Amino acid sequence: MNDMTHCAACASGAKFPIAITMAFQPIVDTDTGRVFAHEALVRGQNGEGAGVVVLSSLNDDNRYAFDQLCRVKAIDLAAGLSLAETGAMLSINFLPNAVYEPSACIRQTLAAAKRAHFPIENIIFEFTEGERVDTAHLLKILHAYRAMGFKTAIDDFGAGFAGLGLLAEFQPDIVKLDMDLIRGIDKDGPRRKIVSHTLAMLRDLGVTPVCEGVETIEEYRALADLGVTLMQGYLFSKPSLAALSAPDLPRRPMN
């Protein structure tokens, strides 16, 4: 779909048919015990999971409206919860295939941030590797967002389409390692080696790693042994519907 077709679709006034809200899950800096960022996760108005909301209603006609609605809702809720005042960042997931031209599609986001007095330098835009997207188009978006002052992140690294090829072209601020790489890392030698080498590569590239899906104290300790400090998962906090939760920080292992 070319830019003109996208423009026509956006101008058509298509609406997303379901009311949504957001749940917030913290990304924890285990060195300081502070929340580094809160990720905004889409939910139905009554707390229905993202799969229910997206799979039941998302289509090509309303993809743009859904992406815009999620951005604005995340910023409005975060501002109402005084998220920026805590010193933490707001991480918003976006759909690259819903962005036809970065400078045009960012206008509602900028307007929402200005209206809510939410600093754009406190916003991270993350995208998942799971959506197949034209690399040149994605790079255009990422470069534009960085130039505007937003932070960028690759989510679910190691589980999708983008992988090392994209990382060679663009180094985001953050890479979130997929939970399937983290699961059982304390007792899985190959996973531990893969994660260890991935962390070394990211650090050499100047990219901040985040390990997501941390669920057990053993996984936490194995990651801490590898030098990971930013973690996210049920061990620290489940997503809180329209609220910010204080993470439960396990005791760091003794060296």
Give the residue extent of every domain in the chain.
3-241
Would you state the pLDDT for residue 158? 75
Mean per-residue pLDDT for 186-190? 95
Would you state the pLDDT for residue 2? 45
Mean per-residue pLDDT for 5-30? 76
Mean per-residue pLDDT for 161-173? 84
Q: How confident is the model at residue 148 (pLDDT cuts 50, 70, 90)?
A: very high
Would you state the pLDDT for residue 4? 39
Whether the pLDDT of residue 54 is over 80: the answer is no
Whether the pLDDT of residue 168 is over 50: the answer is yes
Q: How confident is the model at residue 68 (pLDDT cuts 50, 70, 90)?
A: very high
CA 251, chain centre distance (Å): 26
Would you state the pLDDT for residue 57? 84
**More confident position, 143 or 57:** 143
Q: pTM (2 decimals)?
A: 0.90
Would you state the pLDDT for residue 132? 67
Whether the pLDDT of residue 70 is over 50: the answer is yes
Whether the pLDDT of residue 3 is over 70: the answer is no
Write down the H helix ranges in the chain: 3-11, 50-57, 63-80, 102-105, 107-116, 135-148, 163-169, 179-182, 189-204, 217-225
Would you state the pLDDT for residue 135? 85
From the DSSP assignment, how many helices (H) and strands (E) are in the chain? Answer: 10, 9
Q: Which residue has tokens 């109402």?
A: 80
Would you state the pLDDT for residue 131? 59
Round to whole Å and give the CA distance between 72 and 116. 10
**Percentage, residues of the chain above pLDDT 90:** 69
Would you state the pLDDT for residue 16? 87
Whether the pLDDT of residue 33 is over 60: the answer is yes
CATH superfamily of 3-241: EAL domain (3.20.20.450)
Query: For 15, how many CA atoms within 13 A lie in the half-sphere containing its CB?
Result: 4
